[in-house]
Chains A and B, each alone.
Chain A
């Protein structure tokens, strides 16, 4: 696209836009990956500070990749997530509202099911859970997820397939 702007991450306005464009996606990506909201949000802050401090060295085109790589490295090296990993799944929230349904019993059942579902997601093995959340909640394509973690699309699809079988097993008969 032939648009010229002050495309420098050292330019505050441009940096702000860059932040607004990617902060939420990064945070949700880190949530999927590490399952710890405080950790995810701290890493978002730290990664952007890193971008700001290195703004002259980072090419705008590569900034997003750089951001995600830095963030994942921080998360992996951080010990915090190992202790609390996915014990708390409150960061997954249900948007289901009973408003469209007249039968209160149905609404209750549905909400109970969603709670159980959330627990089952939390219980998935790390990689499966990450793929499942990125695909279903963040609405990323398998290709996008594959690019984020540098593996083949096929590998992501296998993980998703396994995640679904596992979920179906833990949820039991419905």
Chain B
């Protein structure tokens, strides 16, 4: 078979979209172009068989030689001693104090998550593409975090704990909750344990375990849920209940570096209820668009074109 390519890496460059447009045009008249194009297309239709990471981890734990993990045990113990020791919470003026001295910035990039330990042992899990400011120096008198994006908090009992966002404030009376802001118009708080108090403009409400509140463009919706941990921590999935598609896309972009073209065709489409996986772009796109009846094409590794159909 006659191949006559310009060099011995030509096809590798072509299949990863690295050719110049002139080179690509020239290749299109190659007698084998059609066959190669078909191979490229077919390779996008393949994936590896399923692998259940949680199950694998579970199996691993069965096989792991038991070993005392001192750190972990101490931690649990100290939590309870804290709860015992500290009973009342004190009202604080946080705003002014909080912004006066320079807070430390923690942020995650697209697709990344991280755990931040706060000075009193409280924990903050940042979901992808989120930013938080924490003033560690003032922490003793003012437990406050300024947040953009989504985070899950496990708060040790103690003085009042505040999460401040541009859309509202969450005041913590108890222990575990998530706060999520999307752009300038979505504010979601879910309480996994204890109690939290939300203040957003004139709206104030108290959530207890298993309650969530979504404020989308000023409209408040309350829902119940049963899970003990946010889906993005437990299953590495992002879950939604009746979320407008444009916001679903904002969240996709937190987990994947994505360019989406033709986004305007989503206006007026039904809200999305379901979930997408945070570490497999093809599956995530399929989960979101296929179930919403939106046709799409994945062009470059990270460019999605929505089709009018």
Instruction: Name A's B-contacting residues (CB within 8 A).
Output: 1-6, 8, 10-14, 16-17, 19-20, 23-24, 27-28, 31, 37, 41, 44-45, 48-49, 52-53, 90-96, 99-100, 113-114, 117-118, 132, 135-139, 141-142, 154, 156-162, 164-165, 167-169, 171, 173-174
Contact = CB atoms under 8 A, between A and B. Distances in A.
Contact of A136 (B3, B43, B115, B281): B43
B32 A161 contact: no
A95 B286 contact: yes
B45 A136 contact: no
Contacts, number: 162
B49 to A, nearest CB: 5
B47 A160 contact: no
A16 B46 contact: no
B48 interface: yes
A115 to B, nearest CB: 10
A70 B283 CA distance: 30
What is the interface of chain B mostly: helix, strand, loop, or mixed?
mixed
A7 B286 CA distance: 34
A136 B57 contact: no
A168 B53 contact: no
Contacts of B105: 2
Interface string B50-72: 01011011011001110101011
Contacts of A138: 48
17 contacts: A2-B104, A3-B116, A6-B115, A11-B69, A11-B72, A12-B69, A28-B51, A37-B49, A93-B46, A93-B47, A139-B281, A154-B9, A160-B9, A161-B11, A161-B12, A168-B1, A168-B36
B257 to A, nearest CB: 12
A158 B8 contact: yes
B47 A137 contact: yes
B16 A167 contact: no
B106 interface: yes
Given A8-B71, A93-B46, A95-B286, A164 B12 contact: yes
B256 to A, nearest CB: 11
B39 interface: yes
Contacts of B34: 174
A24 B53 contact: yes
